[in-house]
Amino acid sequence: MKVSMSFGKDYESKYEWENCSCQGGSSGIVLPKNSFSKVFNGDPLKGLAEGMASEESYMTAFFEAFPTEPKCFIRGEGKNIKEAEEEAWNKYQKIITCEHEMERRTRTDGYGYCKHCSYSSMVFEPLTKCCKCKKPTAYTKDYKGKWYCKKHSYTMPKNPNPSRWEKMHNMDNKLPRKRKKLLKKCAKNRFEQNGIYGKIRFNYKVYMKFNCKGKEFHLLFKRQELELIKKFK
């Protein structure tokens, strides 16, 4: 099958990779060990040129496959794309014949790794529980480290000392209060037209999110925002 590469021409793969989507690419060049000191301490261009000309330097390529059955991710690496595909294929063959024995290692979110092959997937229940309904969840946690499921994420308290990253992503403060009120009113009308009555919860990080009784919809573009107002004012 044809496999698209991160740059350059498509690669005609050796194996058929049924029910998998695949991609490949080059991860760059690996220089001999002593090259770094030459590059950083001497003439960088000369150091690089020498390193690349050396027999010890090589290009690396990767081949990635995303099988649907079992749903997982496989990555093979090698000096060229053929080698990388071969490594990925061998991993895949192991995965489909292995009697997996899954373990969590350091993860608490339900993600597991097979002890015998490279299979990894979401196979367990999360070890962390929603602080409201006690259901196992790894959906989101607040600044105190308490966990919330999707349904209860709207009751999560705001961090009184938000980090710069949080401030940047919290668009809520940038929205004029009047506009927010109008949007919430329109959202309420939209929910009610679909037979959902209750308190509207609003959340605006990268996009706007309206939630009522566990049902939700998103607004990603200004155009959608204006449409909502036009239709449900």
**Residue closer to Zn ion (CB basis): 11 or 147:** 147
In the stretch 63-102, what mask flags binding to Zn ion with x, by CB under 5 A?
-----------------------------------x-x--
- Of 133, 168, 171, 220, which lies in the binding site for Zn ion, with binding defined by CB under 5 A? 133
- The count of other CB atoms within 10 Å of the CB of residue 208 is 22
Give every CB contact of residue 159 below 8 A, 6+ residues apart in sequence. Answer: 142, 143, 166
Cβ-count burial of 145 within 10 angstroms (0-12 exposed, 13-18 middle, 19+ buried)?
exposed
**132 touching Zn ion, by CB under 5 A:** yes
What residues from 149 to 178 belong to the interface with Zn ion (CB under 5 A)?
A: 149, 152
In the complex, the smallest distance separating the C-beta of residue 48 from Zn ion, rounded to whole angstroms, is 41
Q: Residues touching Zn ion: how many (CB under 5 A)? A: 11
In the complex, the smallest distance separating the C-beta of residue 108 from Zn ion, rounded to whole angstroms, is 17
Give every CB contact of residue 116 below 8 A, 6+ residues apart in sequence. Answer: 94, 98, 99, 100, 101
**114 touching Zn ion, by CB under 5 A:** yes
Question: Which of 203, 210, 212 is CA-nearest to residue 170?
Answer: 203
Residues that bind Zn ion (CB under 5 A): 98, 100, 114, 116-117, 119, 130, 132-133, 149, 152
